[in-house]
Chains A and B, each alone.
Chain A
Amino acid sequence: MTETSYSNDSISSSTQLLRQVMRRLQAGWRTIVILIPFLWLLIFFLTPFFIVAKISVAEVVIASPPFTKMIEWTDSGIMTVRLVFDNFLYILNDSLYSSTYINSLKISITSTILCLLIGYPIAYGIVRSGPLAKKLLLFAIILPFWTSFLLRVYAWMGLLADQGTINNLLISLGLIDEPIRMLYTEFAVYVGIVYTYMPFMILPLYANMEKLDGALNEAAADLGSKPTNTFFKVTLPLTMPGVIAGALLVFIPATGEYVIPDLLGGGNVNMIGRILYNEFARNVDWPVASAVAIVLLFLLVLPMAVYQHYQGKATEEQ
């Protein structure tokens, strides 16, 4: 073996080593990449969930924190676990809670449908408009996010109040003599929710429609289909993923909405978010508040599961 071939050998073995190290590193990266979302979910979703779940099976006491401990050690060193399900029974038996859940669902479902009916044509219009108009319109949809949500709700209070902008305008135009009561009604809550959550409906719909091939509409027309028929047979089925995504993005936060029913509905519109807040802050009954939250979570998980199922089926088909 000559001198040079020996050094060649050592080079090749060192490159091999390098390769192995790289491979290890790459495998390490892969683990890290998976770990990050996992940790995120663990810290910011699962842990709080378990804390809330734990509190929901405790009893209220006047102490700090204001609930009993789940695990206690007796003097003789025996561990006792206390799980109290009274809070759930209480919520399910008291008609105040069930009727509020139903009212919340009614308001959020109606708002979702309203958002869909208004948002769908808007999204369609944006997709169909020219490149410059499209940019401006999308900007206009996102623009409200740049001001505080609370500020926008207060603005609606100013608009809808008895002495507010809308009533004053209608009176000065002579269309009405007395102010129409809008603030602190269910109507105001609908206005607030539909207004606030509209972008969450429009944006996924827009993203979905943008991908739609315009030639499909032409093909349908070519085969003798009138525009309305084409809409129901081609456009709507193909935009269903956008409809579902938008509907969930509106429905889920709207169901638990607290600020809008509180500020725009006053005491007249009961939604579960207000009950939750009252139990937590005014009654200082953390266990009942937690139980209310857990029940709400399950009400919301159900449609999520349906959506997941639908999504899974759709991807399977592709």
Chain B
Amino acid sequence: MAGEPTASETPWLDQDAKPFICIKGVTKKFGEFIAVNNVDLDIYQGELFCLLGGSGCGKTTLLRMLAGFETPTSGQILIDGIDMSNVPPYERPTNMMFQSYALFPHMTVEKNVAFGLKQDKVPNDEITDRVHDILKLVELQDFKKRKPQQLSGGQRQRVALARALVKEPKLLLLDEPLAALDKKLREQTQFELANIQEQVGITFVVVTHDQEEAMTLSSRIAVMDKGQFMQTGTPTEIYEFPESRFVADFIGSANIVEGKITEDNADHVRVSTDLGEIYIDHGQSTKEGSRVWVAIRPEKVHLSKKPPSKKGPNQAEGMVDDIGYLGNTSIYKIRLKNDRIIDVTAPNQIRPKSRTHQITWEDKVYLGWDASSAMLLKK
């Protein structure tokens, strides 16, 4: 993408844009248990929207309400402007890929994929062609005569994906679509998903555990916890501007420290913490003296064996406690004087001559970060 995104790429910023899916105050209770708690969300035509959250936070339940398998306890869902309250699943303009795949065990791969097209009374020749094309896409053309029991887990997942994709519905709901695939096939399928979405303009709602997948795929992400939306935004917004400790910690990793605001100006904030004084170069309308948290991503911390030339904020010193070598990067666990551990990741730009790191165990190191790197969190 070059330059500023256009309005059509960010419809959620456009006041006049009409959302394709409108979720209004939706709550779902199972007995006393609240699985989805008062969720409001607008999703726009052509978006690839990711629902991200830990196990049991209500992602599948929300998806099932969109597909029509669960009725909201309260609230309303509109798809394409139509209230879905009384629309049965078989009349909704949606297709869902089930987390359990739900393939028909008595049908071959081919018949499974063709099932949906048959319901729409698509001519037989066209069914054959479309099934063939989609099976080619998911690399299963050699398996079309097999029954689901004769496939591996990843192959079944691809059949389920093909079966949902082949109908090209207005709204595709994918529940953990790529979880069982190996890395290479997953990346390939991610790419294909993005491609299909661009070509056909289908709106996707994708549930995933995998934040990297959510980052690469989606136009926007909603981070869920205990049935509620913690934050909704673009991958960059969620990563660089988390609003809460939960989001900062859930997406990527972060060193989070508690602190007190000592100075709050229009263009900067100073916070006193265990990590020393932290200077943040953007204002935040918070009362001085109030309790806040500061999150710093491990890759935004510089590591050096030389002390900084002049003393100031955003500095700390400690000892290397542990090193994790990840190939392209290394994670350093730095123990400060007050025994707090700070994670720092650094790219391994230089191939070490000897088989040890330049910075190694028990080394005394100095930490520093830019004034723009620290993120102020109010909850």
**Chain A interface residue count, Cβ-Cβ cutoff 8 angstroms:** 19
Q: List 9 A-B pairs, minimum CB-CB distance, nearest first.
A: A223-B116, A224-B119, A215-B102, A219-B102, A221-B89, A221-B90, A237-B106, A225-B119, A222-B96
A317 to B163, CA, bound (A): 22
Q: Are A234 and B102 in contact (CB under 8 A)?
A: no
Q: Residues of B at under 8 Å CB distance from A? A: 67-69, 88-91, 94-96, 98, 100, 102-106, 115-116, 119-120, 147, 149, 163, 167
Q: A52-90 toward B: CB 8 Å interface, digit per residue (1/0)? A: 000000000000000000000000000000000000000
Q: Are A216 and B102 in contact (CB under 8 A)?
A: yes
Collect the chain B residues with CB atoms within 8 Å of residue A122's CB.
none
Q: Residues of A at under 8 Å CB distance from B? A: 213, 215-216, 218-226, 229, 233-234, 237-238, 317-318
The residue on B at minimum CB distance from A217 is: B102
Q: Are B106 and A238 in contact (CB under 8 A)?
A: yes
Shortest CB-to-CB span from A310 to chain B, Å, is 13
Contact of A221 among B88, B103, B104 (CB under 8 A): B88
Q: Are B90 and A317 in contact (CB under 8 A)?
A: no
Contact of A222 among B95, B104, B149 (CB under 8 A): B95
Known interface pairs A221-B90, A222-B89, A317-B147. Does A215 touch B98 (Cβ–Cβ under 8 Å)? yes
Known interface pairs A216-B104, A238-B105. Does A222 touch B119 (Cβ–Cβ under 8 Å)? no
A222 to B88, CA, bound (A): 9
A213 to B91, CA, bound (A): 22
Q: Are A213 and B102 in contact (CB under 8 A)?
A: yes
Collect the chain A residues with CB atoms within 8 Å of residue B95's CB.
222-223
Collect the chain B residues with CB atoms within 8 Å of residue A226's CB.
90
The residue on B at minimum CB distance from A240 is: B106
Shortest CB-to-CB span from B302 to chain A, Å, is 51
Q: Are B90 and A218 in contact (CB under 8 A)?
A: no
A221 to B92, CA, bound (A): 10
Known interface pairs A234-B104, A318-B149. Does A218 touch B115 (Cβ–Cβ under 8 Å)? no
Known interface pairs A215-B98, A318-B149. Does A223 touch B69 (Cβ–Cβ under 8 Å)? no
Contact of B90 among A225, A238, A318 (CB under 8 A): A225
A219 to B102, CA, bound (A): 6
The winner among A218, A224, A229, A318 for most chain B CB atoms within 10 A is A224
A215 to B95, CA, bound (A): 14
Q: Are B115 and A223 in contact (CB under 8 A)?
A: yes
Shortest CB-to-CB span from B66 to chain A, Å, is 11
Using A222-B96, A226-B90, A234-B104 as known contacts, list a sample of 16 further A-B pairs with CB atoms less than 8 Å apart, ordered by residue number in A: A215-B102, A216-B105, A218-B89, A218-B102, A219-B98, A219-B102, A219-B103, A221-B68, A221-B89, A221-B90, A222-B67, A222-B95, A224-B120, A233-B115, A317-B149, A318-B149
